Structure 1
Amino acid sequence: MIAIIDYGMGNLHSVSKAIERLGHEYTFVSTAEELLAADGAILPGVGAFGDAMENLHKLNLVESIRQFAASGKPLLGICLGMQLLFESSTEHGEHEGIGLLPGTVLRFEGDYKIPHMGWNKLEFLQENPIFSDVEEGYVYFVHSYFLQPAETNRSVLMATTDYYQEVPAITGRDNVYGMQFHPEKSGTVGMKLLENFTGLCEKAYTK
């Protein structure tokens, strides 16, 4: 069973329908017990970083997400959910993140359109099962803030795109993954990435 974490700020409908189309069972969870019982988990997110962390703390889910990641089960953050996996954000002040991956979230600054909205091509930086049978195609982004990985640990960058600068598109380490774009809205490429993630969840179930 794949848990979709419901903390009041995720696009639950589109993510759940994508998982359903792939033929997998899912459940919405908002407690530690429900989350830790799952075989894999997705942390979606739409909105502001600080509000999201506040909601997660109110539900006592921050430490539970850390425990889930430490268990070795697959965890995927989508859009804001990816950003929350990192150490901090400067969105409307300084905010501490879940801290599973090294880096901070900054606002785009420049004489160009913000938010970054539209289709951009992925560039894979490393080999990983999440990329199995996936082409470096186009995926759909909507965001005003981007991840700045820690200078001492850029190994969390798995794929990037270009929007007037290098933009982390897929991040991860071990069993923890993040996608800045919306895979559920990104056609064949996005759905294949989601399918590969659900395959990792299946492997976790059979262990």
Structure 2
Amino acid sequence: MIAILDYGSGNLRSAQRAFETSGKEVLITSDYETALNAEGLVVPGVGAFAACMQGLLKVRGDQIVRERFAAKRPTLGICVGMQILFARGIEHGEHAGVGMWGATVEKLNAPILPHMGWNTVRPAAGSTLFAGVEDQSFYFVHSYAAKESVGVMSTLAHHGEDFIAAIEDGALSATQFHPEKSSDAGLHVIKNWTQTL
């Protein structure tokens, strides 16, 4: 069973439908034990870094992510659900994140913001998430991103400057783009992730 963490942020129904294409049962939940013990956990996120982090803390989502990582249980962060996994974000002031990776989520240095629409990515060598869709485009909607290397497998994209489009760190993965809005390529990434469960 895949749990989608409901902490007041994200398009949960569209994520649920996309992950159901994997053939797995998909449950939207804010229950600590259910999220902790699910085969796979999805942490969505839409909106501002601080608001998402506040919602995550209310359901002890930061603890869930850390415990699942320690237990090697697969977790996938999406969009702001990826951003809050970093050490800090500087959208509307500086705010602490979950701290799984040491980088800061900063405003993109680009002529047009938000970065909205389809963009290609440069997958890391040996990527599991992008196996079979290395040359495809994915759907992004964001103005902030992590840019500095954090010493784990990172896939990059470019909008004004390079930024981290996805991370694969053992059982913890994350995408800055929305796989559930990225058509067949996004569903392929979801399938690749669910095959690791």
Match 1:162 to one of 144, 158, 161: 158
Match 1:174 to one of 160, 170, 173: 170
Alignment correspondent of 1:86 = 86
User: What are the superposed Cα offsets for residues 107-149 of structure 1, whole Å, 9 maximum, x if unpaired?
Assistant: 1234x11000111111112213223222321111000101123
Query: In 2, distance between residues paired with 1:47 and 1:179?
Result: 15
Q: Is the 8 A contact 1:107 1:146 kept in 2?
A: yes
Alignment correspondent of 1:139 = 138
CA RMSD, Structure 1 to Structure 2 (Å): 1.4
Which structure's residues are more often helix, by fraction? 1
Partner AA of 1:69 in structure 2 = F
Partner AA of 2:27 in structure 1 = T
Q: What TM-score, normalized to structure 2?
A: 0.94
Alignment correspondent of 2:189 = 193
User: What are the superposed Cα offsets for residues 77-118 of structure 1, whole Å, 9 maximum, x if unpaired?
Assistant: 0000010111110011111111112211001234x1100011
Query: In 2, distance between residues paired with 1:46 and 1:104?
Result: 18
**What's the CA shift for 1:177?**
0.7
Matched length = 197
Query: In 2, distance between residues paired with 1:23 and 1:3?
Result: 14
Query: In 2, distance between residues paired with 1:66 and 1:138?
Result: 30
Q: Is the 8 A contact 2:88 2:96 kept in 1?
A: yes
**What's the CA shift for 1:157?**
4.6
Alignment correspondent of 2:51 = 51
Query: In 1, distance between residues paired with 2:148 and 2:26?
Result: 31
SS at match of 1:123: coil
Q: What TM-score, normalized to structure 1?
A: 0.90
1:1-207 matches, within 5 Å, as: 1-110=1-110, 112-150=111-149, 153=150, 155-201=151-197
Q: Is the 8 A contact 2:122 2:134 kept in 1?
A: no
Query: In 1, distance between residues paired with 2:138 and 2:7?
Result: 25
**5+ residue gaps, structure 2:** none
Query: In 2, distance between residues paired with 1:23 and 1:172?
Result: 23
Q: Is the 8 A contact 1:31 1:60 kept in 2?
A: no
Query: In 1, distance between residues paired with 2:117 and 2:153?
Result: 21
Partner AA of 1:41 in structure 2 = L
**5+ residue gaps, structure 1:** 202-207
Partner AA of 2:136 in structure 1 = G
For the structure 1 residues 18 and 99, does the alpha-carbon distance in structure 2 shift closer, same or farther, using more than 3 Å as the test? same
User: 4+ residue runs of structure 1 moved beyond 6 angstroms?
Assistant: none
Identity %: 39
SS at match of 1:189: helix
Query: In 2, distance between residues paired with 1:37 and 1:175?
Result: 14
